[in-house]
Structure 1
Amino acid sequence: MRMKNLLGRLGLVLLLCGTTGGALAQSPDPRVEWQSADSANFRVHYRAVQRAQAEAVARAAERAYPRVTEALQWRLRGRTEILVLSETDLANGYATPLPYSLIAVMLAPPDEGELLENSAWLDLLLVHELTHAVHLDKVRGVPKLGQRIFGNMPLFIPNLFNPSWVLEGLAVQVESSPPGASGVQGQGDGLWSGQGRLHSPAYETWLRAERDRGFISLLELNANGRALPLSKQYLYGAYFYDFLVRRYGADAPQRWVTRYSGNFLFWPRLDSNPVAITGKPLDFLWEEFLADLAAQVDTRAAAIRRQPEVMGSVLTEPLLRIPSVTMQADGSLLAVLDDGLGRPQLTRFAADGQRSDLAEVNALARVTTAPDGRVLVAQPDLCDAWTLAYDLYVLRDGGLRQLTDCARLRRAVFAGQGVLAGIVALKHEAGATRLIWLDAQGKQERLLYAPPAGVDLSDLAADGDRVSVVAHQGADWRILQFDLAQPQAAPRTLLRRDRPIHGLAQDREGLTMVLAEDGVPNVWRLEGARLWRLSHAYTGVTAQSGRAADGSLGLVAVAQGGYTLRRMTEAQALQSVMVDVGEAPPWVTTSAPASAQLGASLAAQGRVAGGREPNPQALNDGDLGAPRSYAAWRSMYPRWWWPVLSSDHGLVTFGAQTDGADALGWHQYAAMLAAETTQQETVGSLEYLYRGRHHLALSRWVEARAWTGSSNDPETTAYKRETHAQWLSRALWPTLERRFSLGLGAALERSEWVDVESESVRRMEDTRLAAAVMDYDSLGASWYSEGANRGVYARLLYESYAPFKGEDGDDLPRDADYNGGMLRADLRGFLPLGRSVLGLRYTEARAQGRTEPFQLGGATDENLQLGIQLGNRTLALRGYGSDEPELQGANARVASLEWRTPLADIDRHLMAPAVGINRLSASVFYDVGGAWGRDEDAPARYWRGVGVELLGEVKLLYVLGLQLRLGVAQGLDGPQETHGYLTVGRAF
């Protein structure tokens, strides 16, 4: 029995792809109460206990609304759904137009990286994501007519089929324009406005590195492959729009979007889009842009390169990430190294250069050390099925020992002396950060400092009882010092700057930090009322360790192709700056900036196309309406439909298909309903997924099997009617590195032969089964790896026909009247071999009683590639067809050994036609398997197959990715035939 519901499954997959977006999407926690409330232009969904955060989000969204709609000359149609999430400690967000316009706001403010800038976090995030929402919503011409007929059908959302640099670049450009400006503004002087990422020190750093390596071509950027930087789509896209503004006018980005918004189905005319604006197709315009960018980078870098680079010696080749580095008392460096192939490693670099790996850590882990050599690690993990939180670990006995659980401590240091000895950490809760103290075992939490609303704490360092903390509100960045011995005393302000401070480290002589004082991120040291610059980078510094007693310093720098770890043996002062150490003024009380002038302007002009008129009063105050309990039905009704038409030798079917989801993503469905008009049969499919754990699939189809008449006017005389159903519910226990689940399910497949003339119905198959499944998954993949390259996956599946025994009736053939059970074990394992990987697959299935037999052969195993398919009895055995009678039996055993290796990261995407390819890989495999009957103990013989495959990551229309597999397999036994095949997905 094989459960088939391909149409519904593809619809559900499309829906899931559209709702997750490109961000790290966290599912809302269903264990808490959720509420909804409306503002003028948005419907906000939030935890009931986070009403204040929801109001802040609504105010930020309403502030952003006129700014973004004016820039793009388009208003969103209807209220946009906003989901307020506190389930993650990572700063992020996403926007999607499917199944309707929805924005997810992750409350955690940034504490590192390019998002550290002078905007309030919610303002930066909402402007960026709202730009996506408006951009994707804008439509004209034929697509607009299509939406009026078919609704929010993905094929009629032209801006969805864009390279991601087009979308992300525009959002960065808008976020970097001063609020209140008319449209999108350019910055011809190349100076950072202090808001947004365009011309920010982080982006300028990467531009200098890219200029040294050679800028990415347009076709490579379209493909969005594995080349660094990871944020290349944002980087190049933002500077391209800046180029358009400076060269072709402030309205050039808006005109670009307007033209693209009228593209026909499957015809994203990217290359010709700028012709009406610039007189040039995009490939010529891109060369002009890169020449302009090179000139700008060279001009701005000239002053930097007048001095020799002072960065010390290189310890590592360029890596994917080096998020953290710290200095031990003996001069050893500890760093978190992520090479993009295996798990990140906590690595020690001794003063004499000797390197040793200490422990595996999770991505984005942070490490600090105490003067006595103790090592403290803060790293993110799933502490339950819904919360991605930072917790604390100590390095002990060659591994990490966890101290806290779901504590949400993003940064921590050992601090204090005597009875005050313990850990001081920055705790994140629902968008707010607080300074807390814990004992050395991570217990007995005590609050030290809660900043005023609107003030974020992003970094800290300690020297005995003194703890220094980076706090900021907008462009007001401060280093505050607390004395643990005087907990009631107000903190002392050590430093105030108007740009981000990060990478804080403390030693006995003072504080070191990463600061872009002159526009270039470098290591600076604070001593009293003077800042001393210790490095001179041609690119920029992203992290630093603090100085050792001998004056040495570790730092992380951007390089061509990644990040490098460096050591400066004697960090000498290169420049000094006097700073004001006077008493800092109180923090500014946060309030909602008025947008009255811009809002009134929009209302008066009435020239922004799109949805309903804005409410000027609501734009001014951003009020959030009365709360009500969250109701999924308000958002999960269908927003689009598409006709289904088919003709099959006299059977004529008419119907429609759609899908949908609620705003929290707890209910997701894809459905098709149709009527076969000649035999009055109702057919269709439904797939429903509840909270990602409970899946139901139903389908009913008819297929002509006999007919009379000509091919132009056939008349069906007999047809087959198939009904399928599957239910599967699972309990999950996930972490980032391991996932365990238990599940229960049931399935039905009924096949009937219908004779039209006699109106008789004969059952061909009527099988029903119950199932239980257990999964363990520790598979891991990295940025550069060829799919999964480490870990194991084990599944134990038991299926039984016994619960439904006796319900099949007497009209079935005896060999189709199943009453037994089947136990199937699947094991997959992967071993990394550099960039290559060695894979092993083993499957064994044993049956008792009468069960549907297994069939070996072919190149596809749905249970390995698509997930659990109850009742599936096909096992891939390459080199053989799927109809060999000697490869059929109640019991089966199959094993595979496969070596996969990348051949080339081609990373090219054409514009006409809009087709591309990223990685091309190859595999060599050896398969062996056999099947045997109920009364046998083992196969009479094993069948072997060998072959090679090409694996290609193909992209269509810039956004649709397919893993294609083209293979040739030779059977070594039986008929010894050669089989070629083209299919989707890896073999296992």
Structure 2
Amino acid sequence: MLGKILKRTLLGIMVSAGLSMTAVAAPVGWDEAGKEWLSQQSAHFSVHFVEGHEQSAARVLDIAERVRREQLPFFQSAPQTRTEIVLVDDFDFSNGWATPLPFAQIRLFMSPPEDGGDLATSDDWLHLLIRHEYAHIMHMELATGAPKVLQNVFGRQAFFFPHALTPSLLLEGLAVYLETNEELGYGRLQSSQYAMKMRMEVASGELKDLEQVAVANREWPLGYQYLYGAYFIQYLSETYGEQKVQAFLTGYSRRIIPYFLLNRTARQSFGKDFNALWLDFQAYLEKEFAPQLAQLKQHSVSGKEVGKETGKELQPTPYLQVVAHSQSGLLVNHNNGEDRPEIATLDPENGEWTSLTASKDITAMSSHPQSGLAASRLVHYADGRSYNDLFLYRDGQWQQLTERQRFRHVRWMPDGKQLIASRKVAGVSELWLVDAQSIDQAQAPVRIWRGDSETVLGTFDISPTGNDLVAAVKRPRQGWNLEMLSLDSKTWQPITDTKAAESSPSYLPDGRILYSADYEGVFDVYVLDQSRGEVEQWTRELGGALRPVWQPGTGLVYQAYEIEGYQLRYLPTPRVLSTQPIETLQGRYDYPPVVEQVVEKSEPEAYSPWSTLRPHNWLPLVYIDDARTQIGALTFGSDALGRHNYQLAATWDFDNELVDANLVYQYDNRWMAVLSSSHDYDKMTFEGRSDYRITRDDYFVLQRNHIVTAFEDQLSLHAGGVLDKESLVSQPDFASMIAFRETNETLAGLAVTFDNREAYLNVPGIGWGHYLDVVAETNALFDSDYDGQKYQAQWKGTWDLPGRTTLTARLGGGYADDDAKRFRLGGKDLFEESRLFGRDTQALRGYDDSVQRGQRYATQRLELETWLGRIERNWSLYPVGVGDVSGSVFVDSGAAWDSGDDHKQLTGVGAQITIEVELGYNLTLPMTLGYAHGLDSNLGKDEVYFTVSGSLW
């Protein structure tokens, strides 16, 4: 499809971009009726937002200008052009990202973090988010000397941003360090969550070494590059002073060769390389946390591990589990990262599970003895949005209660007829009363409370009487406290006013409030008796006790943060470890205002993509051999909203006066166009004479995806057209005896796809699910050397087996009219099978490419794949590491034949091992070494093959 030169060059550029970008520049959600995108500028920033978010956008500019002023003395330089900020309300979870390519840009999710999480310790969620992401921009933009000169010549290319190509532990560590304000007490380095995580790393006796953290990916604790990186930067600043950290940043910004000069620059700045510094850092951590660990171990009081007494102990999980009490037993949405998640009832004492139903992306549950189980689930839509909605599980069936209503948390009212659910829209928290009927029968939800942009509502519970609601609430300029809402008067009453992070409140049967808090710097379970104004402590964990639940008949159930993950524990009869008046715990933050001054801004105007869509970079392309001399250039770009994305490469062959060109354009995830014109140079020899036959390959595809969607957008209708033309440009005079057939296939078609596949943290590839496509194409709409129709279908099903093992089956079939282009069978190129339109090749490992051709084909495949191990280590600080290792055995079978002919079934068997190679710390490239044996005695062969795959295209 592409010329060899363009293949090589585009691969290199995509690898380069992948190594430097800390986040994928995903497009914003599709436009919604009546909501226009607007833009507004301040001196150093542009913000792009949907109509209706003007107030938030103005606040973003005010905060961003403040952050720039405060971070400039540290970095000593800042981007010369405006940083593009895009404010989106497309997700029901908190996040953001920043990248310098193809221009300095930040994406902010308008979704405040909730109680109990890493991001909860902040003066203001938007300030924390901007402070973190802009630190990335300031950091990655640092370039002086030769890199800056090359930027001025070639524009914004990945390899000319030295700091963008450093391990994420340095990028994220510095951003977390700079988001933290020690004096005011906010930011992750001041949080009990980070202290808990690092304390348990020290307690494990196996602190991670530098080679592990450099390529942190799936190992526990998840995101540990942030954790270790932040403490490492803090260690460097405390030990050597911030000036030395700044000297390192300045020194490395001059490095023209990325990756290989990190240790040299560290020696010049700190007197030691990073390997030696890391050993000192590990000793520092041991010293810092040893006293606290010794004291906690001496006074530790923990609950029982689930099932330990019967030998059925529950293994720790990498995720906090969603848990709810019920009359039938403790309900757990069990998600361990290697099996298909399921909702089950658990008997904590004997460790017995009773499965209710498979689940997916459950974020909250509430059970009622008569009305069933209500759950909130995150649904990922084709339009690029991820919203929560409510579902009801009754009589073994799920019923959907809301659609795109964004309800994240849910609790039953005592009568079982209604639910109270919370949501966040444009960063503002709300509470709604929801009718517990199916979506086509229920009355419209009624909003009962709406906060403001600086008040964040967290988890909540309904009182046994149904008159009140208790919630974790973060008010402006304060931390997380407990408050009570009267459901009659809709007024809030403060319960606590402390500097602790209080989270996960729920009512005990007697009306007292159960919750988790870090009053002494460690999260433990507490009970508040409002009538007496007293707080009882029920646990004293070494790590932390989170998300407590009272299960009738079992007692207290909570999740302990342990060395290997989150561990479910229970206390049948909790013992009161201490009691103190709530007044003794009171203490206010009173953070200073986030917006220090209102900056000068332009008036909002309609968004235009052109200022950011223009090319910001180029690279020369040169390829010379005895057949050609090709010289050209390549560029790529996108607009601020991430909707328009393109890559353009073109070369001129001076020897043969030929043009090779390639253009790839994509508009969000709906429109894609590829236009390629390339040449192949095939050396031919006859009677001692040699020369080249030059052929031209023109390829064009236009595809429109998701025309119609259904079933949570798992079912989609697509349309596409493909032109694939091969023609002769020139050939030696002696080559006429070796005929070359010019071909021109022009197809237009429709396709229906269904895809409900799921991926799990510790399972290679797909963990469970099914994919189906049915494609119909015709040659009749455009001029073509072929005639008639082509029909194809394929189904792939993956089943989750015990452990980290899956079984995948595939069936494929195709039919082409007699005058249509024939299908080809053979070879090991599985990628061609995934093309939706213009698909004419089916893989059959153990056989040559095109071992069979025909107007019909039928293929079958069975593959057993399993996880073999996790290395997750880098080679020192060189840009090569290894992640997971997996293996598989397979059986391929198929046949291709013409109408009226008998078909001959061919079968191949084989095995392969896949190693995830980590390049440049951030790019994962699965490399597969395989062996295949064709069982047919005449056509089969033994072959050893090596393939490299990845999300490059």
TM value normalised by structure 2: 0.91
Residue 117 (1) aligns with residue 121 (2): yes
SS in 2 for 1:131: helix
Aligned-partner Cα distance in 2 for 1:142–1:270: 16
Structure 1 pair 736/543, CA: closer, same or farther in 2 (3 Å)? farther
Aligned partner of 2:787 in structure 1 is: 819
Picking from 141, 144, 169, the partner of 2:145 is 141
Please tell me the residue identity of whatever aligns with 1:894: T
Picking from 435, 446, 449, the partner of 2:431 is 435
Mapping 1:109-188, distance limit 5 Å: 109-112=112-115, 113-178=117-182
Please tell me the residue identity of whatever aligns with 2:401: L
Aligned partner of 2:867 in structure 1 is: 902
Picking from 855, 861, 866, the partner of 1:890 is 855
Residue 258 (1) aligns with residue 254 (2): no
Deviations 1:44-97 (A, max 9, x none): 000011101111211221121122222222211200000001111101111111
Structure 1 pair 960/35, CA: closer, same or farther in 2 (3 Å)? same
Aligned-partner Cα distance in 2 for 1:12–1:627: 36
Aligned partner of 2:900 in structure 1 is: 935
Aligned partner of 1:186 in structure 2 is: none
SS in 1 for 2:497: strand
Deviations 1:3-35 (A, max 9, x none): 997469748966995898447957333223100
Aligned partner of 2:949 in structure 1 is: 985
Structure 1 pair 735/278, CA: closer, same or farther in 2 (3 Å)? farther
Residue 423 (1) aligns with residue 419 (2): yes
Residue 803 (1) aligns with residue 767 (2): no
Structure 1 pair 50/71, CA: closer, same or farther in 2 (3 Å)? same
Please tell me the residue identity of whatever aligns with 2:489: Q
Aligned-partner Cα distance in 2 for 1:583–1:211: 31
SS in 2 for 1:782: coil
SS in 1 for 2:285: helix
The answer to whether the 8 Å contact 1:861/1:876 transfers is yes
Query: 1:453, CA displacement in angstroms?
Result: 4.3
Aligned partner of 1:410 in structure 2 is: 408
Picking from 193, 202, 226, the partner of 1:234 is 226
Picking from 829, 834, 837, the partner of 1:860 is 829
Greater mean deviation of Cα atoms: 890-899 or 88-97: 890-899
Picking from 209, 231, 237, the partner of 2:200 is 209
Greater mean deviation of Cα atoms: 893-902 or 431-440: 431-440
Residue 76 (1) aligns with residue 79 (2): yes
SS in 2 for 1:321: coil
Structure 1 pair 525/333, CA: closer, same or farther in 2 (3 Å)? same
SS in 1 for 2:645: strand
Deviations 1:388-417 (A, max 9, x none): 122122231124322111111222212366
Query: 1:549, CA displacement in angstroms?
Result: 5.5
Picking from 807, 810, 821, the partner of 1:841 is 810
Residue 449 (1) aligns with residue 426 (2): no
The answer to whether the 8 Å contact 1:33/1:47 transfers is yes
The answer to whether the 8 Å contact 1:23/1:93 transfers is no
The answer to whether the 8 Å contact 2:462/2:468 transfers is yes
Aligned partner of 1:720 in structure 2 is: 695
Structure 1 pair 837/17, CA: closer, same or farther in 2 (3 Å)? same
Aligned-partner Cα distance in 1 for 2:541–2:249: 38
Please tell me the residue identity of whatever aligns with 1:748: L
Query: 1:431, CA displacement in angstroms?
Result: 0.4
The answer to whether the 8 Å contact 1:12/1:668 transfers is no
Aligned partner of 2:935 in structure 1 is: 972
The answer to whether the 8 Å contact 2:498/2:586 transfers is no
Deviations 1:311-347 (A, max 9, x none): 23335210121343232357x3222221101332222
Mapping 1:665-676, distance limit 5 Å: 665-676=642-653
Please tell me the residue identity of whatever aligns with 2:65: E
Aligned-partner Cα distance in 1 for 2:818–2:939: 31
SS in 1 for 2:424: strand
Aligned partner of 1:830 in structure 2 is: 798
**Unaligned ranges ≥5, structure 2:** 308-313
The answer to whether the 8 Å contact 1:482/1:492 transfers is yes
Structure 1 vs Structure 2: percent identity of aligned residues? 26
Query: 1:984, CA displacement in angstroms?
Result: 2.1
The answer to whether the 8 Å contact 1:85/1:105 transfers is yes
The answer to whether the 8 Å contact 1:835/1:901 transfers is yes
The answer to whether the 8 Å contact 1:377/1:394 transfers is yes
The answer to whether the 8 Å contact 2:23/2:99 transfers is no
SS in 2 for 1:931: strand
Aligned partner of 2:503 in structure 1 is: 502
Deviations 1:346-403 (A, max 9, x none): 2212476432122233335112334767432222113662331221222311243221
Aligned partner of 1:729 in structure 2 is: 704
Query: 1:912, CA displacement in angstroms?
Result: 5.7
Aligned partner of 1:558 in structure 2 is: 561
Structure 1 pair 647/310, CA: closer, same or farther in 2 (3 Å)? closer
The answer to whether the 8 Å contact 2:622/2:630 transfers is yes
Residue 698 (1) aligns with residue 675 (2): yes
Aligned partner of 1:189 in structure 2 is: none
Structure 1 pair 726/318, CA: closer, same or farther in 2 (3 Å)? same
Query: 1:437, CA displacement in angstroms?
Result: 2.4
The answer to whether the 8 Å contact 2:21/2:101 transfers is no
Please tell me the residue identity of whatever aligns with 1:984: V
Please tell me the residue identity of whatever aligns with 1:824: Q
SS in 2 for 1:404: coil
Please tell me the residue identity of whatever aligns with 1:960: L
Aligned-partner Cα distance in 1 for 2:381–2:909: 43
Aligned partner of 2:722 in structure 1 is: 747
Residue 879 (1) aligns with residue 846 (2): yes
Deviations 1:197-241 (A, max 9, x none): 114111111122222322112111122232111120110000101
Residue 340 (1) aligns with residue 340 (2): no
Aligned partner of 1:614 in structure 2 is: none
Aligned-partner Cα distance in 1 for 2:302–2:615: 60
- Over the aligned positions, Cα root-mean-square deviation in angstroms equals 3.2
Aligned partner of 1:305 in structure 2 is: 297
Query: 1:259, CA displacement in angstroms?
Result: 2.7
SS in 2 for 1:881: coil
Aligned-partner Cα distance in 1 for 2:199–2:396: 40
Query: 1:584, CA displacement in angstroms?
Result: 12
Aligned partner of 1:616 in structure 2 is: none
Aligned-partner Cα distance in 1 for 2:254–2:332: 50
Aligned-partner Cα distance in 2 for 1:651–1:849: 39
Residue 580 (1) aligns with residue 583 (2): yes
Query: 1:107, CA displacement in angstroms?
Result: 0.9
Picking from 515, 518, 528, the partner of 1:516 is 518
Structure 1 pair 857/797, CA: closer, same or farther in 2 (3 Å)? same
SS in 2 for 1:251: helix
The answer to whether the 8 Å contact 2:797/2:808 transfers is yes
Aligned partner of 1:536 in structure 2 is: 540
SS in 2 for 1:496: coil
Aligned-partner Cα distance in 1 for 2:913–2:358: 32
Picking from 623, 630, 647, the partner of 2:607 is 630
Aligned partner of 1:617 in structure 2 is: none
Aligned-partner Cα distance in 2 for 1:737–1:541: 36
Query: 1:981, CA displacement in angstroms?
Result: 0.8
SS in 2 for 1:241: helix
The answer to whether the 8 Å contact 1:194/1:475 transfers is no
Structure 1 pair 684/30, CA: closer, same or farther in 2 (3 Å)? same
Structure 1 pair 270/581, CA: closer, same or farther in 2 (3 Å)? closer
Structure 1 pair 475/483, CA: closer, same or farther in 2 (3 Å)? closer
The answer to whether the 8 Å contact 1:741/1:776 transfers is yes
Structure 1 pair 638/515, CA: closer, same or farther in 2 (3 Å)? same
Mapping 1:564-643, distance limit 5 Å: 564-580=567-583, 592-594=594-596, 620-643=597-620
Aligned-partner Cα distance in 2 for 1:2–1:78: 36
Mapping 1:330-369, distance limit 5 Å: 332-350=329-347, 353=350, 354-369=352-367
